Structure formats: structure tokens, C-alpha cells
Amino acid sequence: MRKVLKLGFFGPPGAGKGTQADRLASYLDCPHISTGDMFRALKTSSTELAGQVQEIIGSGRLVPDELVTEMTLARLAQHDCSSGFILDGFPRTLVQAIALQDSSKALDALIEIRLGRDEIIQRLSGRRVCTKCHAVYHVRDLANGFESACTICGGMLMQRDDDLPEAVATRLDVFEYNIAPLIKFFKDRELLLSIDGYGDPDEVFKRLLKGLEQIRT
């Protein structure tokens, strides 16, 4: 199988995108780069770009597409990305997608992890988080259901507000609205690889590897 080196990942909340991106990065021996990690790294950076982004975030404004793109391309230009990368969380807008594909770091494929709304709502609404150590559980895996304590530290488990079914449905609406232009952009260029996200992580990963075999060199 040709090891596609420049890949993007996206999927709805709860689809297991991060898990699959981590596994694929290990399989391909390349870095898994998320925009969240990049933004966190900027907090301790003293570059001019970092200063601009920090000022915008501090004021409560959204970081413009141009700066997010500049930040991402700067990260992809680092030495550890010379043999490829798994990009997670970028692009998020059509403007970002066009800029990325017009650069030297254009993706070989954008991988979409697909999962139905009902399954996503079930996954996220059943999630419980420890109030002490922040370990994550699901009610279907807890021996005593909702009353179970954290098996790591004994802390109380709680459901986050954004995991309530109504909140999850709203998050999905926003995601689907924003992501539709990206899907069309990469699909029109035959660069979209859609993977069924149902089943356990091992099953999904097998589908992912099979899908990568179909990408033309």
C-alpha cells in the first residue's frame, strides 16, 4: 500500500476522529497535528504570529482564516513534517481549504469519519467525566450505571452540559452547516475519502487502511 503522507481528518463530534488519526499517524510514522495543540503551543511562543493570535483570542474575537492558515502552514513547514503529516482540525472553512490546496502542503486526501446522528447523540449523551482526574467513561461500560465512581481516583462522575442530547443535536447542526462546503470542495477534486465510523476502533481502522489503498498515486 502506498503510504499517503499528507492527510487531513474530520468528522462530527463523537465519531472517533482523534482516535483514528492517532492510530494512523503511528502506522505511517508521521506527526498527528491538531489545531488545538497549535493554539496551546502559541501561549508560550514569542513569535510575531503568536503575539497576533494571542491578542485576538484575548479580546474574545475569532482568529481570521488568514492567520489560522499562516499558523498551520508554519507548523507544517517544520522538520518533523518533511515526511508527511496527519492534519486534524484544519481546514475548517472553504477559504482555509483553498489556501491549503494552493500551497506546497496540499492534502493527498481528506478523510471523513461518517456516523449517523442517532449514534453520535447516544455516544456523547452517555459520556461521563470524572470531576477530579477528568477520566472519560460511557454509561454502557459502567458496572453500576449512573452511580458509578471513577475507577482511577474514586471521584464523582458527571455529565457535561454540552453532552446533553439537546446540546449535542445543536453541535451537530452547526458542524453539518459549516462542513458542507468543505465536503463538496474535496469531493469535486476526488480527494475525499469517506470511512464508515460504526463499530469498534479496530474495525474502523481496518476500513481506513483499505480506503487508503484505493487512493491513486
Active site residues per annotation: 17, 92, 127, 160, 171
Q: Within a 10 A sphere around the Cβ of 195, how many other Cβ atoms? A: 23
How many Cα atoms occupy the beta-carbon half-sphere of 198 within 13 Å? 6
Q: Within a 10 A sphere around the Cβ of 14, how many other Cβ atoms? A: 22
Per-residue cell: 50: 503568536
Q: What is the CA radius of gyration of the chain?
A: 19
- β-partners of residue 110 are 8, 192
Per-residue cell: 154: 474514586
At a CB cut-off of 8 Å and minimum separation 6, what does 180 contact?
A: none
User: Which amino acid type is present at position 152?
Assistant: I
What distance in Å separates the CA atoms of residue 67 and residue 45, rounded to the nearest whole number? 15
Q: Are 158 and 148 in contact (CB under 8 A)?
A: no
Pairing of strands 127-130, 85-88: unpaired
DSSP three-state, residue 15: coil
